[in-house]
């Protein structure tokens, strides 16, 4: 009986989880991928300078108290003249554990740190798909997600200011 009491006492003395912010990468995976070369094989004989257009998107979904899925979407379209040489779409995803962050810092982590973690994986998949599609190797340049996040915040603040101004103007006109 004394042995059992000692074990219970030792279990009670176990330190609790550390306090403060916590970030973990739980899983990184490829959620969706598509590669199209609509003009192949004729497009391989096209002459001219390729024009590349890249679009980024990001989705965040809360999975639990501390778990979030972040999906980084990258769409790369290559045209030569008026013909599409290829279209490559990748949705690179990850499940991240985040705890102990205030709302503003949590938003920043989901908008900068998580995409920074996912982007190298998306770059590699895109590079492999393009080369596997018969096109010259192409490596996307690194992106500054901190700068993209700051620009997004600036645009949101500007839209809110315009929205609030319109509401105030409408109320003033209604009171006149």
pLDDT for res 165: 54
Of 85, 84, 69, the closest CA to residue 32 belongs to: 69
> Any idea where the domains of the chain sit in the sequence?
20-138
Helices then strands (H, E): number in the chain? 4, 4
Rounded Cα–Cα distance for residues 28 and 59 (Å) = 15
H-helix or E-strand containing 143? Answer: none
**pLDDT higher than 70, residue 8:** no
User: Any alpha helices (H) in the chain, and if so which ranges?
Assistant: 2-12, 103-108, 114-132, 145-175
Q: Can you give the C-alpha Rg of the chain in angstroms?
A: 24
The pLDDT tens digits of the residues spanning 35-57 come to 999 989 999 988 889 999 999 99
**Overall CATH class of domain 20-138:** alpha beta
- Supply the pTM of this predicted model: 0.79
């Amino acid at each position: 009986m004394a042995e059992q009491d000692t074990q219970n006492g030792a279990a009670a003395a176990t330190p609790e989880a550390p306090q403060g912010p916590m970030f973990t990468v739980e899983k990184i995976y490829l959620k969706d991928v598509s590669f199209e070369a609509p003009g192949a094989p004729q497009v391989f004989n096209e002459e001219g300078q390729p024009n590349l257009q890249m679009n980024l998107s990001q989705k965040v979904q809360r999975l639990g108290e501390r778990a979030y899925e972040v999906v980084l979407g990258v769409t790369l379209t290559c045209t030569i003249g008026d013909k599409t040489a290829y279209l490559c779409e990748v949705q690179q995803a990850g499940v991240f554990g985040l705890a102990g962050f205030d709302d503003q810092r949590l938003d920043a982590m989901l908008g900068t740190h998580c995409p920074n973690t996912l982007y190298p994986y998306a770059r590699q998949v895109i590079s492999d798909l393009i080369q596997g599609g018969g096109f010259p190797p192409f490596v996307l340049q690194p992106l500054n997600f901190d700068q993209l996040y700051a620009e997004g915040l600036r645009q949101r603040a500007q839209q809110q200011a315009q929205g609030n101004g319109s509401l105030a103007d409408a109320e003033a006109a209604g009171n006149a």
